[in-house]
Amino acid sequence: MYPDAHCELDFTTPLELLVATILSAQCTDRRVNKVTPVLFARYRSAADYASANQEELENIIRSTGFYRTKARNIIALGQRLCDEHGGEVPDRLEDLVKLPGVGRKTANVVLGNAFGVPGLTVDTHFGRLVRRFGMTRQTDPVKVEQEIAALFPPEEWTMLSHRLIWHGRRVCHARRPACGACELQHLCPSYGEGPVDEETARRLVRTGPFS
DNA sequence: ATCCCGAGGG
DNA sequence: CCCTCTGGAT
Half-sphere exposure of A93 (CA within 13 A, CB side): 11
Which DSSP symbol is given to A27?
S
Cα separation of A162 and A27, whole Å?
Answer: 16
Q: Are A13 and A49 in contact (CB under 8 A)?
A: no
Catalytic residue among A4, A91, A95, A105: A105
Cα separation of A201 and A209, whole Å?
Answer: 10
Mean pLDDT by 10 residues, chain A (211 residues): 68 97 94 97 98 97 97 97 98 96 94 93 90 88 91 93 90 86 89 75 58 38
State residue A3's pLDDT score: 44
The answer to whether A27 is annotated as binding is: no
Distance A87 CA to B2 C1' (A): 41
Q: Does the annotation count A70 as an active-site position?
A: no
* Burial degree of A53 (CB within 10 A; 0-12, 13-18, 19+): exposed
Cα separation of A20 and A67, whole Å?
Answer: 13
State residue A5's pLDDT score: 62
- For chain A, what is the radius of gyration of the CA atoms? 18
The answer to whether A179 is annotated as binding is: yes
Cα separation of A180 and A66, whole Å?
Answer: 34
Q: Does the annotation count A123 as an active-site position?
A: yes
Would you say the C-beta of A95 is within 7 Å of strand B? no
* Burial degree of A173 (CB within 10 A; 0-12, 13-18, 19+): middle
State phi, psi for A169 to the nearest 5 degrees.
-70, -40
State residue A169's pLDDT score: 87
State residue A52's pLDDT score: 97
Cα separation of A83 and A13, whole Å?
Answer: 19
Would you say the C-beta of A105 is within 7 Å of strand B? yes
Nucleotide nearest A63, CA–C1', reads: C7
Catalytic residue among A91, A98, A123, A143: A123
The answer to whether A188 is annotated as binding is: yes
Cα separation of A188 and A169, whole Å?
Answer: 17
Q: Which residues touch strand C (CB under 7 A)?
A: A 26-28, 31, 62-63, 65-69, 199, 206
Which DSSP symbol is given to A102?
-
